[in-house]
Amino acid sequence: MCSGRVDLKHVLRAFSRGMDGVFIGGCRLDECNYVTGGNYYALNMVLLCKKIMEHIGLNPRRLRLEFMSGGEGNLFTEVVDDFTREIKGIGPLGKSEGLDEAELAAKLEKITRLVPYIKVMKNEKMEKHLQDPAEYETFFTIEEVEELLTAMISYYIDPEKCQACMICANRCPVGAIISAKKQVHIIEQDKCIRCGACFEACPPRFDAITKLSAGKTVPPPPPEGEREIIKKSKEKAN
**Residue 96 and residue 58 share a domain:** yes
Q: How many domains does the chain have?
A: 2
For 212, which DSSP code?
A: E
Q: Given this model, what pLDDT does residue 153 score?
A: 86
- Tell me which residue range forms the domain holding 196: 154-237
The confidence score (pLDDT) of residue 213 equals: 85
CATH number of the domain bearing residue 221: 3.30.70.20
Q: Tell me, what's the pLDDT at 231?
A: 65
Residues 74 and 27 in one domain: yes
- For the chain, residues with pLDDT lower than 70 are 231-238
Buried b (16+ CB within 10 A) or exposed e, 206-235: bebbbeeeeeeeeeebeeeeebeeeeeeee
Return the pLDDT at 150: 82
Tell me the helices (H) and strands (E) count for the chain, helix number first. 11, 6
Task: Indicate the residue among 150, 173, 204 that finishes a domain.
Answer: 150
Integer Cα distance of 128 and 118 in angstroms: 16
Task: Say yes or no: 115 and 185 in one domain.
Answer: no
Q: What's the pTM value of the predicted model, to 2 decimals? A: 0.79
Query: What are φ and ψ of residue 155, in 5° steps?
Result: -125, 145
pLDDT value, residue 237: 47
pLDDT of residue 223: 92
pLDDT at 54: 97
Give the pLDDT score at 235.
47
